[in-house]
Amino acid sequence: MPLLNCDIGESFGAWSMGLDAEVMPYIDCANIACGFHAGDPGTMRKTVALALEHQVRIGAHPAYPDLVGFGRRSMACSPQEVIDLVHYQVGALAGICRAQGGQVEYVKPHGALYNDMMSDAKLLRAVFQAVASYGGDVRLMLMARADNSLALGLADEYGVPLWFEAFSDRAYDGAGNLVSRSLPGAVHHEPERIVAQALDLAQGKPLLASDGSTLQLQVDTLCVHGDNAASVAAVRRIRQALDGLQPA
First to last CA, the chain: 14
pTM of the predicted model, to two decimals? 0.94
Amino acid sitting at position 189:
H
- The pLDDT profile of the chain, 248 residues, written as one tens digit per residue, is 899 999 999 999 999 999 999 999 999 999 999 999 999 999 999 999 999 999 999 999 999 999 999 999 999 999 999 999 999 999 999 999 999 999 999 999 999 999 999 999 999 999 999 999 998 899 999 999 999 999 999 999 999 999 999 999 899 999 898 898 888 888 888 888 899 999 999 999 999 999 889 999 999 999 998 888 888 888 999 999 888 877 65
Within 10 Å of residue 186's Cβ, how many Cβ atoms?
15
How many Cβ atoms from other residues are within 10 Å of residue 112's Cβ?
19
C-alpha span between 231 and 18 (Å, rounded): 10
Instruction: Please give the domain boundaries of the chain with CATH numbers for all domains.
Output: 3-167+217-225 (3.20.20.370)
Q: What are the helix (H) ranges across 30-120?
A: 41-53, 79-99, 111-119
* 33 secondary structure, DSSP code: E
Q: Helix 121-132 and helix 79-99: axis angle, to 10°?
A: 30
